[in-house]
Amino acid sequence: MAQKKKEEKMVATSKVDLTQVKPYGDSLNDGMVETAFTLPVPHGEEANEAARILTKKMGLMEPNVVYSKDMGSGYTFFVVYGKCVHTVDFTNIKVTKVEVDVMSREECGAYWEMNIGRPVVIVGASTGTDAHTVGIDAIMNMKGFHGHFGLERYKGIEAINMGSQVPNEQLIEKAVSVKADAILVSQTVTQKDVHITNLTNLIELLEAEGLRDKMIVIAGGPRISHELAQELGYDAGFGPNSYAEDTASFVLTEMVKRKMV
Amino acid sequence: MKSKLNLDVKQIDEARSSAKRIAESMQEFIDRHTTVSTERTILRLLGVDGTDDVLTPLPNVVVDRLLDNGQLSKGVANFIGSAIHNLKKSPQEISEMVSEGTLDFESLKPVKKEDVEKALKPYITESLKKIKTQTEKREEYLKTIGEGKKPYLYVIVATGNIYEDVVQAKAAVHQGADIVAVIRTTAQSLLDYVPFGATTEGFGGTYATQENFKIMREALDEAGEEVGRYIRLCNYSSGLCMPEIAAMGALERLDVMLNDALYGILFRDINMQRTLVDQFFSRVIIGYSGVIFNSGEDNYLTTADAFEEAHTVLASQFINEQFAVLANIKEEQMGLGHAFEMDPDMENGFLYELAQAIMAREIFPRASLKYMPPTKFMTGNIFRGAIQDAMFNLVSVWSGQSLQLLGMLTEAIHTPHMQDRYLAIENASYIFNNARNLGEEIEFKENGIIQKRAQKVLKDARALLMDIEKEGLFSTIEQGKFGGVKRPRDGGKGLLGVVVKNEDYLNPFIPLMMGGAK
């Protein structure tokens, strides 16, 4: 009898129901989540209570303020644990991704050597009124981002970063004059959907000049998804946490696929 | 002091002499040129401020006029001086007249050199007096309320809104910060003007403006008085407006300024001729006003490998030191930069970091070394990030660094949240206090890993400096020897703002500031 009960329990707690997934602390479905945050209130019992109430509103039950600290000037830091009430249906998740096997910088270099061998020219810019170069610099400049070197450092790739506030016309002109294989457009500002207008305009100009099919055209930025980019007529879109290797892998393999070598 | 690393004094001397000759040969180039930003700085120091009706700063309006007319080679001071003499108006009023189109410099009667100088003198005296008042105020604070122990805890704020920055900065001071840097908004370094007034919108940082400097200075003085220690304010005398921002910093009592032509050339693609000329005047101002400059060698290691390219950092530090000597900057004001950027997966990486940090201290014994935290190998795993920062803090207190830019566990995710800064200060305070005198207690094994590492970096740096001396600094940069980044002599931004001086050229501030005028 005792043994049967134990078996039942083992089955009950070790099988993950993928239609109702929740965080795992030390046993299935305990929902344990750790959070850390600051509230603009002075340290004290009331602050701790505020943190507990807020944590519950986040869907974390039985909140436990394990640490709180006065940070001065009326701010308090908290570490709070709670049990998440929400679940996710993992069987029903769909993500549109750029379909490419991402290669490291070194692998890109080797791939280039084996399959292309001639300089690959990539022109990039933050276009329109957008003054932010952080994205395009991260992908193109030597320094790169998060320890991921930029395209300037890639073997076989000649990266031309035109900087910010580049009109679409000027970007196209440059791309034609250097015989670019690919164009990278970065859009950071998305207020009033200015990026949509701007990105659409570039594709229209390229099509009007009969250039669209001669180049690989890629969009990137914190609010850009592959899905959105494809809708707008781009070959690929890269959102947050994308690096030069993602772009380079896509461009190089796409060139080979399209026999642009 | 006996070298714990058994460094060869002769090699250090040779490297330093080589760097001296490199800097001197660059100085010959610098002395023959001026730039639009140098000239705008002169205007600012003469009291010109404000904008025209389309928000172009007046210093830009006046200098651009001269540049367009091909007259900038005489230097703006000559024109302002003769206008003062002719019209009996102040530099501000004269600039407003130029902007409104009611004054054309060419319509002025020619004025004798001594009359120009005489006309400028009261404005120069007033400006230098303002700066002196600020340096005296700093000294007074240091005497009365004192300062934190070294390594100073150096944090950044970057909200984009100066008033929000003030909230974060004050909280950081209460948590223990000694230096607060206000990060600039993305791409300000490429603006060829300094925006005007208080600003509340920036991206990844806040505009460096004179008004923003003033607002933060007041806030930090207030917070410093509350906690009983002087709080240093840091900003960026870099990019296309390098000397202008140095002047604004001097007038508003900034204490630390990032200032490094090589950084701008390599990482912001600023034209090398432009920024080396700009750097000279900015360093003269920095030296005069008691500001600590920070050089940007640490950045090389974010692109180049920290183990393989360590010697390029040391070579650049030697060059930056000699550029500073030529601008009459005291050793204590030399915040030469380096960084803790080796791959954490490297076996004995900690030993190499330690060797290099102690080496920098032994080679530049009195400099205010600026030590930068891990960034390149920060992953978003904040828990591991906290440990990487702890290792960095341990090396720093052990090797006696001066300015410790605190690592943030959320590096590579976002600009710091208030709690990130608190956790960083807690991390550093714990380790600095807990291991305060470690460096005095420990010596290194003769010919062990640590000694050999430092000796090799010194040897390679000396060889590189000798190469550069032979090649010249411009061609060395063109070949990509620093940070693995190649930049052409005539490429990059800002070259159009470089002008060859003619024989009448006048910058009255340089001799006075270098002579330590009152």
Question: Rounded distance, CA B214 to CA A133, Å?
Answer: 28
Are A30 and A121 contained in the same domain? no
Residues B293, B262: contact at Cβ < 8 Å? no
Q: Which of A136, A146, A241 to mutate to test the interface with B (most CBs of B within 10 A)?
A: A146
Task: List the catalytic residues of B.
Answer: 263, 298, 370
With respect to residue A131, please indicate whether it lies within any of the assigned structural domains: yes
Question: pLDDT tens-digit profile of A191-204?
Answer: 567 788 889 999 99
The confidence score (pLDDT) of residue B190 equals 85
Are A160 and A227 contained in the same domain? yes
- Among A39, A59, A90, where does a domain finish? A90
Which CATH number is A155's domain given? 3.40.50.280
Residue A9 has pLDDT above 90, yes or no: no
Where along chain B do its domains lie? 33-125, 150-452
User: Do A38 and B419 make contact, defined as CB atoms within 8 angstroms?
Assistant: yes
Question: pLDDT tens-digit profile of B99-148?
Answer: 999 999 989 988 999 999 999 999 999 999 999 999 999 999 999 999 99
With respect to residue A116, please indicate whether it lies within any of the assigned structural domains: yes
Q: What are the strands, taking DSSP E only, across B124-243?
A: 152-157, 179-182, 232-236
Residue of A nearest to B263 (CA): A143
With respect to residue A97, please indicate whether it lies within any of the assigned structural domains: no
Chain B touched by A6 (CB under 8 Å): no
- Among A63, A90, A117, where does a domain finish? A90
Residues B78, B118: contact at Cβ < 8 Å? no
Residues B123, B135: contact at Cβ < 8 Å? no
Tokens 């329109």, located at residue? A128
The confidence score (pLDDT) of residue A191 equals 58
- Among A56, A90, A124, where does a domain finish? A90
Parts of chain B with a pLDDT under 70 = 1, 303, 484, 517-518
The confidence score (pLDDT) of residue B90 equals 98
Question: Rounded distance, CA B262 to CA B267, Å?
Answer: 8
Residues A18, A90: contact at Cβ < 8 Å? yes
With respect to residue A68, please indicate whether it lies within any of the assigned structural domains: yes
Are A189 and A130 contained in the same domain? yes
DSSP string, chain A: -HHHHHHHHHHHHH---TTSB---SSSTT--EEEEEEEESS-SSHHHHHHHHHHHHHTTEEEEEEEEEEE-STT-EEEEEEEEE---B-GGG------------HHHHHHHHHHHT-SPEEEEEEEBTT----HHHHHHHSTT-BTTB--GGGSTTEEEEE--SSB-HHHHHHHHHHTT-SEEEEE----GGGHHHHHHHHHHHHHHHTT-GGGSEEEEESTT--HHHHHHTT-SEEE-TT--HHHHHHHHHHHHHHTT--
Nearest to A40 by CA among A70, A81, A16: A70
Are A200 and A139 contained in the same domain? yes
Average pLDDT over residues A8-24: 78
Query: Burial code of A15-27, b = ≥16 C-beta within 10 A, e = fewer?
Result: eeeeeebbbeeee
In terms of CATH architecture, what is B150-452?
A: Alpha-Beta Barrel (3.20)
User: Do B419 and A134 make contact, defined as CB atoms within 8 angstroms?
Assistant: no
Average pLDDT over residues A231-247: 92
Are A109 and A170 contained in the same domain? yes
Counting one residue from chain A and one from chain B, the pairs whose CB atoms sit within 8 A come to 67
Nearest neighbour of B412 by CB, restricted to A146, A164, A188: A146
The confidence score (pLDDT) of residue A127 equals 87
Which CATH number is A62's domain given? 3.30.30.60
The confidence score (pLDDT) of residue A1 equals 46
The confidence score (pLDDT) of residue B303 equals 65
Closest approach of B256 to chain A, Cα-based (Å): 25
Rg, C-alpha atoms of chain B: 23
Q: Give the residue with greater pLDDT, B401 vs A164.
A: B401
Nearest neighbour of A143 by CB, restricted to B267, B377, B417: B267
- Virtual torsion, Cα B116, B121, B122, B127, nearest 10 deg: 120
**Given pLDDT bands bounded at 50, 70 and 90, which one contains residue A135?**
confident
Question: pLDDT tens-digit profile of B68-85?
Answer: 999 999 999 999 999 999
Give the range of the structural domain holding residue A62, as residue numbers without chain letter: 14-90
Q: Give the residue with greater pLDDT, A101 vs B438.
A: B438
**Given pLDDT bands bounded at 50, 70 and 90, which one contains residue A190?**
low
pTM across the whole model: 0.84
What's the domain count of chain A?
Answer: 2
The confidence score (pLDDT) of residue B485 equals 72
Q: If 0-12 CB within 10 Å is exposed, 13-18 middle and 19+ buried, where does residue A239 land?
A: middle
Nearest neighbour of B175 by CB, restricted to A71, A141, A188: A71
Residue A129 has pLDDT above 70, yes or no: no
Are A120 and A249 contained in the same domain? yes
Which residues are registered as beta bridge partners of A64?
A81
Are A153 and A74 contained in the same domain? no
Are A55 and A110 contained in the same domain? no
Partners of A134 on chain B (C-beta within 8 Å) are 186, 203-204
Closest approach of B124 to chain A, Cα-based (Å): 37
Chain B touched by A126 (CB under 8 Å): no
ipTM: 0.84
Average pLDDT value for chain A: 89
The confidence score (pLDDT) of residue A136 equals 86
Are A123 and A214 contained in the same domain? yes
Residues B434, B396: contact at Cβ < 8 Å? no
Chain B touched by A174 (CB under 8 Å): no
